[in-house]
Amino acid sequence: MKIGIIGAGNIGGTLARKFVAAGHMVKLAGAKGPEEVREQAEKIGATPVASTDAVKNVDVIILSIPFASISDVSTLFAEVPATVCVVDTSNYYPMRDQKIADVEQGKPESVWTSEQLGRPVIKAFNAALAHTLAENGQPQGTPRRIAMPVAGDDSSNKTIVEQLVDEAGFDPVDAGTLADSWRQQPGTPAYCTELPTDELRQALAAADKDRAPGNRDAVMEEFMQATTPPTHDHVIERNRAISAPR
């Protein structure tokens, strides 16, 4: 497939590397233009482009930018065909991003994203830490392979993204419609907890929409006040503990 990725940070850059390795043609765009990502892109075999070019002549567009910046790229999608699959990997953190009233009032993050872009998206690759995505993928059939949720309303596009999740080294799990995608947002049992398929399905079912924002903010505040950066394992353990069903 032809894939355009907007955002070349830890998530976008890792996905670019994995999808090139899987045989896809990848265009990678950074915030400051192609020169910003040229060395990174050429090292992994992707093509460095401007954001305006990342959305042209592709089958899939992956947005890997801060949640609050989603509305800034909406104009890029004016002429993108409706058949192109758009993937949202972002997460809303009000301590980091500007507060967004609709999301604060309970609108699922990717529903808000779809409204900003004027088209539906698939929510995926958001519920894993950068280290998990980069280092913990395993071949299909590996016991207790980490699973990742995929939510959206278009079954064909979900199938495409589920294939990409598998190629990245993880088991895809259908997490329902886009309206259900709050179940994989920060503060839920499915978010950054590195669970295998059966346990991830249980975690999605056990999500508590009312508790999730408080869980999210409590974890962020704890990590921000820590005197030393938390280890990857500690972040996973903390997410599991605070979001565990009561």
Q: What's the average model confidence in pLDDT over 16-45?
A: 94
pLDDT at 242: 82
126-152 pLDDT, tens digit each? 999 999 999 999 999 999 999 999 999
194 confidence band (pLDDT: 50, 70, 90): very high
Is residue 113 classed exposed, middle or buried when 0-12, 13-18 and 19+ CB atoms within 10 A define those classes?
Answer: buried
Q: What's the average model confidence in pLDDT over 16-28?
A: 98
pLDDT at 227: 85
Identify which has the larger pLDDT, 33 or 108: 108
pLDDT of 2 higher than 90: yes
47-77 pLDDT, tens digit each? 999 999 999 999 999 999 999 999 999 999 9
207-228 pLDDT, tens digit each? 999 999 999 999 988 888 888 8
pLDDT of 85 higher than 90: yes
pLDDT at 63: 97
CA 9/CA 14 separation, integer angstroms: 8
95 confidence band (pLDDT: 50, 70, 90): confident
The ranges assigned to domains in the chain are 66-243
Report residue 89 as tokens.
């990997």
pLDDT at 229: 87
Superfamily holding 66-243:
NAD(P)-binding Rossmann-like Domain (3.40.50.720)
pLDDT at 165: 98
| Mean pLDDT of all residues belonging to the chain | 95
pLDDT of 12 higher than 90: yes
CA atoms within 13 A on the CB side of 43: 8
